[in-house]
Structure 1
Amino acid sequence: MITLASSGRACSSACSSLHTVARDGFLACLAPKPSGPRYSPVFSPFSTPRSPRFFPRRAFQSTSSLDSATPRISYRVAASSSGKGRRFHPAKNSYNFNPELHEAIGVATDTPNRALRRKRRPDSGEDAFFVSQVGRKDSGAVAFAVADGVGGWAESRVDPADFSHALCGYMAEAAISWDSPAEQLRAKHLLQAGYDQVVADETIRAGGSTASVGVGLEDGRLELANLGDSGSVLLRLAAVHHYSIPQTHGFNTPYQLSIIPPRMRAQASIFGGSFLEDLPRDAAVTNLHMQHGDVLILATDGVFDNLNNQDILKLVTSRMVLTGAWSATPDSGIRPSEDLKQLTGPEGLTSLLPSPSASPSDPDSPKASSPSTREQTYTLQSLIAATIAGEAKLASMDMRRDGPFAKEAQRYYPGDWYRGGKVDDISVVAVVAVDEGYSG
């Protein structure tokens, strides 16, 4: 887990003229590349890179005030993950959040049995994530987060996954049981509530984790709290609108919530040394407004150590344009689709895919897809989450392409000359904003 160089996660702004760019063949740049050596990251043709000095380290960004007719934003959320050393299956490792069917995904909030909770963890290794409703189902608010257990605790015979999964589980429970107005729930307070419960849990004797937490309200207001090198990227109309800044004490040493056993404290007092003990109040908070067609990505460092912001922008833009969620024309440039509600709904992208060719007489055929499987797999948000997770997985094992982690390692330790990607656990949460009253 590292702090990323400014060149690795460069931000971009919309280009002043979309007409010329669209005529020059925007869709052509999204065509699949031929097999062979990996191509270098391509900047969005609708944006130009800007120097990081124009962005404060802990930025507070927001859009202009809402119109008199306040939009009703619906958050369509999905997650995808892959444990380190495990094969990634896009369909199997993707999870859609549907508040009509369940209170939360990524965590087991319906049972107090700890063994069952551990068994029902998603395939995310030491990473964890959750998506849940906030309070009543009719509030329209959602909470979501990713957490990355600090792997160094494994050397002390502590499972780093216990801390990160417990943190997400307790945050989900706090969000679901929230009985005050949804706008009073702040992302940093949710992180604090989860951390307090982890500290009070006697079964978790040690560990640590980074976290990136978000709370979205029905009117489009969004608050993000980021602690460590997990982070977020907000994409709007083929450009990076916002990105979080990693918080680190040094190379590969992120801010982290921790539990230090008394025995280790006693040893440190005798032999010297110190521990990293950051708190939820140290998290950087950003307030934004989500608009129709916006895509928010929360991910652990397993993504950001292998993909920079422009890589993520290119992946998301290609999927949004090819599915029709964003349209690109010479006259209007990039604009969100009126069909976004259908693309992110329960049927999702099913209408865009060929029907399975299984024989009616063979219901057990692997080609036959049950409705629940199709709902879970073929939605726009799950496609985006699985695409980013899958590409990060490939980049982590590519020894020919230096990712952001490798470039940072070379800068800190030029003699070691670290090459290629960084194998790690991967977790991604993708949020697509849909204005229920959008009419183009």
Structure 2
Amino acid sequence: MTRTLLGGSPVQRLRLLSRHLAPLSRSSTSPFPTPTTSRSSLLLRRSLASSSAAADSAAAASTTWTFTTSAAFHGKPVSRSRRSGPEGTTTSSTDSDHPSRSRRHSVQQGLAPDHPLCKWRDQHLAEGKAPKEIGAGHDWWFVEGVPSSAAAAGGGTRGVVLGVADGVGGWEDSGVDPSHFAQALMWFARERVRTQDWKWPTEAASKSAERLKDLLDGAFRDVSNEKGIVAGSSTACLALLDAETGMFHAANLGDSGFFILRPKAIESVPVPPSSPASENSTPPPPPPPTPAVTYSVVHAQEPQVHFFNAPRQLSKIPASELERAGGGEGNWLIDRPKDADTFSLQLEDGDVVMLFTDGYSDNVWPSGETDRLLELVRSRVDAAATRPAEEDGGSAGGDDKELAASIAQTAVTFARMIAVRPDVYTPFAAESKRWQVKGMERGGKVDDVTVVVGVVRKE
């Protein structure tokens, strides 16, 4: 996407970011704990990427492709903490971008504390160590490995399914916690994958991607039938990484989305000449590290919107509201799983897949920023590895668990840094210009941010 920067160029932003990237170490002080076994599947290994990142690794032991995944998240600042009341009643706080809201009523909602969804959600939040009063905000995600037919004989996974969802914050005006719908949508999608209540795609690429629409449709029906979720709306992005074929399939509804980035090794890394310095001069700050591997964006998914800041979304409308609308859908934005866009691509060794909510994509450009961000992270990971990237053509340098976790956490950190900058030209500013919205020509968008990363390897 072509754009003209009005201030705060990608190079300047990433130089600032590079100062926040501490060198990685494989010593006992490494921020990456030893992986533990996931309860959901013996084929999934879970590790922690940072103070607010939960990581999963799905390995296909007897197949050609392996995928190492990690998720990082951070809710946006709020003026008062989101808090849970008794018996599942949730009082949502006033968001920082809506300080004028004064009238608010709570709705009896939510699942019982002992519901498996709540336990699963709380486990992710506890593992990620996100600020308790913020958590993931209205976002949620899941990562689930699918056993192969040889799993019983010690085989690996058939692949892995990823998902992200972003609850629509406007429901807070009605006293509904937007996070409940997004969490339930991801939970039910994960359950259908985990219990094999969904047919793994075996058709041609286009039809395989359609199977993800079926998964989304089933999860949406489950949410619609769940009495504990009284109302809500959410975007949704589901992706499948096939460990037998190396194919990537996705279905995306709304303005969450995904990027696919591809590495290329640099044959020789140029060393910039040192500048002469006088005796009393202050040495300039060090430049960002020169990467041994570059990344290019091979696909950036286009968002689906009705109009500015109004994405396509799945919605559960209370019966009382539908009756008030005369049995119709009134002025509600209601889309269906069949409206999702689908996409398929043959992956290559070393590819990086990123799923995200719009808290990332509204603030960070795919080309010029996301690709450079990956290069910076890769350089730091490779510096801590025993085998540098140039030795293997860019296909395996560094540890994939550290790489996936560091990309996810750094992406969330960078998006949050840009979100509060009033002087930058962001995708959100570009979108406001396209829709001729005045007063938003510059600046980021403060929002919840969730990023799920998958590092692809061909064995």
TM-score by structure 2 length? 0.63
State how far apart, in whole Å, the 1-side matches of 2:120 and 2:198 are. 28
* Pairs aligned (count): 320
Report how far residue 271 of structure 1 moved.
Answer: 12
- Residue of structure 2 in register with 1:295 after alignment: 352
Q: Rate the CA distance shift 1:252–1:181 in 2: closer, same or farther, 3 A.
A: closer
Whether 1:73 and 2:65 are equivalent positions in the alignment is yes
2:455 aligned residue (415, 432, 436): 432
Deviations 1:68-122 (Å, cap 9, x if unpaired)?
Answer: xx97110100000001117xxxxxxxxxxxxxxxxxxxxx9xx735554554453
Matches within 5 A, 1:384-395: 384-395=407-418
1:344 aligned residue (375, 400, 422): 400
- Residue of structure 2 in register with 1:55 after alignment: none
Q: Is the 8 A contact 1:146 1:211 kept in 2?
A: yes
Q: Is the 8 A contact 2:432 2:438 kept in 1?
A: no
Percent of matched pairs sharing the same residue: 32
- Residue of structure 2 in register with 1:189 after alignment: 214
State how far apart, in whole Å, the 2-side matches of 1:135 and 1:258 are. 32
- Residue of structure 1 in register with 2:375 after alignment: 317
- Residue of structure 2 in register with 1:95 after alignment: none
State how far apart, in whole Å, the 2-side matches of 1:8 and 1:159 are. 36
SS of the equivalent of 1:316 reads helix
SS of the equivalent of 1:278 reads coil
State how far apart, in whole Å, the 2-side matches of 1:146 and 1:272 are. 26
Query: Which one-letter code corresponds to 1:74 in the other structure?
Result: T
- Residue of structure 2 in register with 1:112 after alignment: 115
Report how far residue 338 of structure 1 moved.
Answer: 3.9
State how far apart, in whole Å, the 1-side matches of 2:12 and 2:437 are. 35
SS of the equivalent of 1:85 reads coil
1:206 aligned residue (231, 239, 255): 231
Whether 1:172 and 2:190 are equivalent positions in the alignment is yes
SS of the equivalent of 1:388 reads helix
Matches within 5 A, 1:269-308: 269=326, 273-308=330-365
Query: Which one-letter code corresponds to 1:73 in the other structure?
Result: W
Query: Which one-letter code corresponds to 1:153 in the other structure?
Result: W
Q: Is the 8 A contact 1:183 1:217 kept in 2?
A: no
Report how far residue 236 of structure 1 moved.
Answer: 0.7
Q: Is the 8 A contact 1:77 1:430 kept in 2?
A: yes
Q: Is the 8 A contact 2:237 2:252 kept in 1?
A: yes
Q: Is the 8 A contact 2:147 2:157 kept in 1?
A: yes
SS of the equivalent of 2:230 reads coil
Matches within 5 A, 1:51-70: none
Q: Is the 8 A contact 2:144 2:160 kept in 1?
A: yes
Query: Which one-letter code corresponds to 2:163 in the other structure?
Result: A
Q: Rate the CA distance shift 1:414–1:215 in 2: closer, same or farther, 3 A.
A: closer
- Residue of structure 2 in register with 1:146 after alignment: 164
Q: Relative contact order (alpha carbons < 8 A, sep ≥ 6): 1 or 2 greater?
A: 1
State how far apart, in whole Å, the 2-side matches of 1:293 and 1:304 are. 22
Query: Which one-letter code corresponds to 2:15 in the other structure?
Result: K
1:229 aligned residue (255, 260, 278): 255
Q: Is the 8 A contact 2:395 2:457 kept in 1?
A: no
Report how far residue 193 of structure 1 moved.
Answer: 1.6
Query: Which one-letter code corresponds to 1:314 in the other structure?
Result: R
Report how far residue 35 of structure 1 moved.
Answer: 9.1
- Residue of structure 1 in register with 2:422 after alignment: 399
State how far apart, in whole Å, the 2-side matches of 1:33 and 1:339 are. 23
Q: Rate the CA distance shift 1:228–1:180 in 2: closer, same or farther, 3 A.
A: closer
Whether 1:267 and 2:330 are equivalent positions in the alignment is no
Q: Is the 8 A contact 1:234 1:243 kept in 2?
A: yes
State how far apart, in whole Å, the 2-side matches of 1:162 and 1:115 are. 10
State how far apart, in whole Å, the 2-side matches of 1:148 and 1:215 are. 19
User: What stretches of structure 1 of length at least 5 have no aligned partner?
Assistant: 1-5, 10-28, 37-69, 87-107, 346-378
Q: Is the 8 A contact 1:228 1:248 kept in 2?
A: yes
State how far apart, in whole Å, the 2-side matches of 1:210 and 1:288 are. 22
Q: Rate the CA distance shift 1:190–1:135 in 2: closer, same or farther, 3 A.
A: farther
Q: Is the 8 A contact 2:166 2:236 kept in 1?
A: yes
2:142 aligned residue (114, 126, 130): 130
User: What stretches of structure 2 of length at least 5 have no aligned partner?
Assistant: 5-10, 19-61, 79-110, 126-134, 203-207, 264-294
Query: Which one-letter code corresponds to 1:84 in the other structure?
Result: K
TM-score by structure 1 length? 0.65
SS of the equivalent of 1:235 reads strand
Whether 1:250 and 2:307 are equivalent positions in the alignment is yes
1:216 aligned residue (237, 241, 247): 241
- Residue of structure 2 in register with 1:53 after alignment: none
Q: Rate the CA distance shift 1:268–1:73 in 2: closer, same or farther, 3 A.
A: same
Q: Rate the CA distance shift 1:75–1:117 in 2: closer, same or farther, 3 A.
A: closer
Q: Is the 8 A contact 1:135 1:179 kept in 2?
A: no
State how far apart, in whole Å, the 2-side matches of 1:35 and 1:430 are. 19
> Would you identify which runs of 4 or more consecutive aligned residues in structure 1 move more than 6 Å?
29-32, 325-329
